[in-house]
Structure 1
Amino acid sequence: MTDTQLRGPTVVDRRSTTSTLTFLGATGTVTGSRFLVESGGTRLLAEAGLYQGLRELRRRNWEPFPVPAREIDAVALTHAHLDHTGYLPRLVRDGFSGPVYCTPETASLAEIVLRDSAHLQEEDARQANEGGWTRHAPALPLYDTADVERTLPLLAPRAFGQREAVGAIDISMAPAGHILGSAVLTVDAGGHRVVFSGDLGRGGHPLLLAPAPPPAADAVVVESTYGDRRHPDPAPDLLGRAVRRTVERGGSVLIPAFAVDRTELVLLELYRLTEEGLIPRLPIYVDSPMALAALDVYRRAAHAGSPQLRPDRAGALDALERLDLHHVRDAAGSEQLNTPHQPCIIVSASGMATGGRVVHHLSHQLPDPRNCVVLTGYQAAGTRGRQLLDGARALKMHGCYVPVRAEVVDVPDFSVHADADELVAWLASAPALPRIVYVVHGEAAASAALARRLEQELGVCAVAPRLGERVRLD
């Protein structure tokens, strides 16, 4: 990829009468979602995601944004995950001051996610400087806590179905069924409509209802995280067998889990396995202040009767307290879990082991063959989770390599991303097929595979755009 492609082109003049869409992220990768819609002098950024994973991708977070931040009129978010929200504080640091539209639940969760992101970046920079493993002098965070605190007042919650005018552009949101508050974003610009799927959920989510069908649109921008594969049939005892094996050899189970939504689903499955006698009653430690705060948001939504939640699962989260559940909020309690004194289960963030407390646990527990690490979701290229999934025999953490002797088990049942069949079915459920589908937010092979299927099975024009590519909406 050339330097010009990495930076993206110069964005069209505000005086242009043409409505355009520019792909500023999430092309050829599952991270860094950023899409610019321009119409009638208005600039709307759909998503403001952080790049994660491979070093060459993470470097893009530091590159000058192709559009001056102060010239963006508004941002619209589909949900709270870091690869869709984590660039916001950097935009604010660079001059953005407009509204950030999202659902109320996304606003609540984004507050938790962004504060944690700034804290981790500050800690990583501090540790790199103290440990001497940085190439920079000194290492700096992409943004800090003060930037996040300037960002949070810009969050502008809007209900599902509510239309909002942003200059010459109108937006609205419908449930996406991925995590609490996740939305399919509809953007009307210059008499044309583009729909952004965000991350699309599945019909079998243990807590959330299925995504709403897409509206009729000229163009759809659809994710392709699992665009080249189908989810395997559920394996109800895969996690249970891993836990039992680990306990028999006197080890502990470490579960890297995304703090938002994934931790809830892991705990629900551990509750089921315990209640059915498939695993012994063990101490279960949730070692993530962010995950605990997100769990509170989910519980409040359940108690309020949120229409996003399955009615038959209203009391599921309250039942978790019947487990031997321990909430670990302080650093001292987390450090004690690095070397557990008895078999236990530790659920800790982050889900791809890119940072957070789970990295410390991995560095202590991976060398012990009695232990087990359970991966519970998509592992992006370049992450420690992906390295473990691919069979790495050593991981580099905090400047040192650590041998991987613990058992590593992949449990794909927890994925809340639609697979290829579900993505095709979702697009087919629209009242009218779009003129074109842009396939994004997937590794290159996954995006290309989904584009081929959409052309072959639905007869629509489908392309995987390039980074920095601009297209007209008319």
Structure 2
Amino acid sequence: MVELTFLGAADTVTGSRFLFETSRSRVLVDCGLFQGLKVLRSRNRKPLPVDPASIDAVVLTHAHLDHSGYLPVLVNNGFDGPVFCTEGTRALCGLLLPDSGYLQEADARYAANRGFSRHDPPLPLYTRKDALASLETLVPHPFKQRIDITPDCWITFHRAGHILGAAIVELVADGTRIVISGDLGRYDDPLMFDPEPLRAADHLLVESTYGDRLHPDLSAQDELERIIRRTVARGGSVIIPSFAVGRAQSLLYHIDAIRKRGALPDVPVYLDSPMACSATDIFCKHPDDHRLTAEQCRDAWDDVIYTREVEHSKRLDTEPGSKIIISASGMVTGGRILHRLKRYGPDRRSTIVLAGYQAAGTRGAALRDGAETVKIHGQQVPIRAEVVSLDMLSAHADQHDLLRWLGGFQSPPGECFVVHGEAGAADRLRFEIAQTYGWNARVPEHGETVRLG
């Protein structure tokens, strides 16, 4: 008998944490941060309902912080077992986790100096030092290899697309086969491979981030070209909040393709994120994990200006002329993009391009929904710039992609749990699964425990 407890991503997109327990083992699949609404973020400060020291192993589907960002807390609180992941995930966690700790420390210092925090003193959830220590627990493995993780549990990683190193996890716990989709990528993506089909599972956890919608059937390059041309024509700059891992590299690829066909105005392109710069380097060093060769990678990034240094980044706000700035973070929750928005958000000539999913409660979601002001560093910043959402740039599978992947199973799982989605998206995908395949599908509740026979 296996028990599964949904410690995260059960009533929201973020905070991925799934605890599997047998008579001999405790395995946590994903160890993510809750993001977005304050009521969700507050869960990051609450202790787990089980002692971290009692967990035998952790498995990561991929490196995004809503799947890996709680690991330093887990280690700080006593977990000392192995964390199994792919090679690409290990490389990216080496960027994301220390950066997350650094930003939390920086935000706490800024809040203390400006006095806009309700906490005295404001404290980070964890530090850069904590994050570096947690990296020592990561044990990378290749795809398609059986990995024994406890005496009665083994896993296999299968390609999920989405981002570098992203995996679908096939977990066999005490003889029960459970498939955890992680975040699935899109089919026919120009950079990432298609998500690999799986044929059988006793139980299945499937993500539903875009479970209630379809990506626009439009060309990302054509839309970007139109946005850039009209913005530059009125003397503005194009500001793109972007996830440093995956989205930034995709944006650079598309902008380079527009440039190569002679359709891009003569404006500089800045990658305004040290982590995105390093992630781009890692992307080029892992050609087996994506569709581009190392030469194609180098060619695509050749004309990009990397702004790694703080002083260089600050100068972007005072340099004259139009420009394209890709800056982290993707949902405008922190980082350099906040400074870019303070400068360009009030500028009617400029454009803010939202290049993917925006979780409820984030500044990105507020911008998408037409907010006239957003709060940044304790101040209300007016938003007069044009705001455009380009959902076709998302690295997440949409409803059709998800149903297509599920169609690869040759027999229905005993139960299909729909996770990683806002309430409406998760329930819509549940309905579509039941209608299309006749499966027993449902949306679990946060904290719920179920028995898997």
Specify the TM-score bucket, using the shorter chain as the normaliser.
over 0.9
| Contact 1:254/1:374 (<8 A) preserved | yes
Percent of matched pairs sharing the same residue: 49
1:11 match: none
Aligned position for 1:5: none
Paired residues of 1:427 and 1:433 also in contact (CA < 8 A): no
Measured in 2, the distance between the counterparts of 1:355 and 1:32 equals 17
1:213 paired with 2:197, answer yes
Answer yes or no: is the 8 Å Cα contact 1:79–1:182 preserved in 2: yes
Which residue is equivalent to 2:372?
393
- Distance in structure 1 (CA, Å) of the matches to 2:302 and 2:266: 10
- Counterpart for residue 243 of structure 2: 258
* CA–CA separation in structure 2 for the residues paired with 1:449 and 1:37: 26
**Aligned counterparts of 2:352 and 2:36: Cα–Cα separation in 1:** 19
- Please state whether the residue corresponding to 1:315 is helix, strand or coil: helix
Q: How big is each residue's C-alpha offset from its partner over 1:261-309, in whole Å with a ceiling of 9 and x where there is no partner?
A: 100000011111111222212111101010011111110112xxx1x32
Matches within 5 A, 1:163-242: 163-165=146-148, 166-235=150-219, 236-242=221-227
- 1:453 is matched by which residue type in structure 2? E
How far apart, CA to CA, are the structure 2 residues paired with 1:436 and 1:352? 32
Distance (whole Å) between structure 2 residues aligned to residue 179 and residue 423 of structure 1: 16
Give the whole-Å Cα distance in 1 for the aligned partners of 2:264 and 2:20: 51
- Matched with 1:284 is 269
Measure, in 1, the Cα distance between the counterparts of 2:10 and 2:34.
11
Corresponding residue of 1:122 = 105
Deviation at 1:167, TM superposition (A): 2.7
**For residues 453 and 35 of structure 1, what CA distance do their matches in structure 2 show?**
24
Structure 2 spans left out of the alignment, 5+ residues: none
Higher mean displacement: 331-340 or 402-411:
331-340
Report the counterpart of residue 444 of structure 1 in structure 2: 423
Report the secondary structure of 2:249's partner residue: helix
Deviations 1:402-452 (A, max 9, x none): 000011111122111111111111111123221110000000000000001
Query: Is this contact kept in 2: 1:252–1:340, CA < 8 A?
Result: no
Query: 1:378 & 1:319 partners in 2: Cα distance?
Result: 28
What residue is the counterpart of 2:434 in the other structure? 455
What is the deviation of 1:169? 1.2
Task: Tell me the residue number matched to 1:404.
Answer: 383
Secondary structure of the structure 2 residue equivalent to 1:156: strand
Flag structure 1 segments of 5+ consecutive residues without an equivalent.
Answer: 1-17
- Report the equivalent of 2:298: 318
Instruction: Give the partner amino acid of 1:315.
Output: E
Which residue identity does 1:358 align to in structure 2? I
Q: Which residue of the partner structure matches residue 87 of structure 1?
A: 70
Q: 1:113 aligns with which of 96, 109, 126?
A: 96
Q: Counterpart of 2:195 in 1: which secondary structure?
A: coil
Deviation, 1:314, is 5.4
Cα deviation for residue 178 of structure 1 reads: 1.0
User: Are the equivalent residues in 2 in contact too, given 1:80–1:182 (CA < 8 A)?
Assistant: yes
Match of 2:412 in 1: 433
Separation (CA, whole Å) in 2 of partners of 1:272 and 1:206: 11
Question: Partner of 2:134 in structure 1?
Answer: 151
CA distance in 1, matches of 2:417, 2:447: 13
Q: Which moved more, 1:339-348 or 1:257-266?
A: 339-348
Instruction: Give 1:159's aligned amino acid.
Output: P
Distance 1:114 1:322, change over 3 A: closer
Q: Which moved more, 1:248-257 or 1:387-396?
A: 248-257
The residue matched to 2:286 in structure 1 has which SS?
helix
CA contact (8 A) 1:40 1:168 kept: no
Name segments (4+ residues, structure 1) moved above 6 Å.
none
Give yes or no for contact 2:25–2:56 (8 Å, CA) kept in 1. yes
1:244 counterpart (229, 234, 252): 229
Given the alignment of the two structures, is residue 420 of structure 1 paired with residue 399 of structure 2, yes or no? yes
Contact 2:97 2:132 in 1 (8 A): no
What residue identity is the alignment partner of 2:280?
Answer: L
Give the count of matched residue pairs.
451
Letter in 1 for 2:444: P
Q: Secondary structure at the match of 1:316?
A: helix
Contact 2:285 2:294 in 1 (8 A): no
Equivalent of residue 349 in structure 2, options 336, 356, 370:
370
Secondary structure in 2 matching 1:237:
helix
Q: Are the equivalent residues in 2 in contact too, given 1:246–1:253 (CA < 8 A)?
A: yes
TM-score w.r.t. the length of structure 2 is 0.98
For 2:326, what is the secondary structure of its paired residue?
Answer: strand
* C-alpha separation in 2, matches of 1:233 and 1:212: 23
What one-letter code is carried by the residue in structure 2 that aligns with 1:171? I
2: CA distance, partners of 1:389 / 1:424 = 27
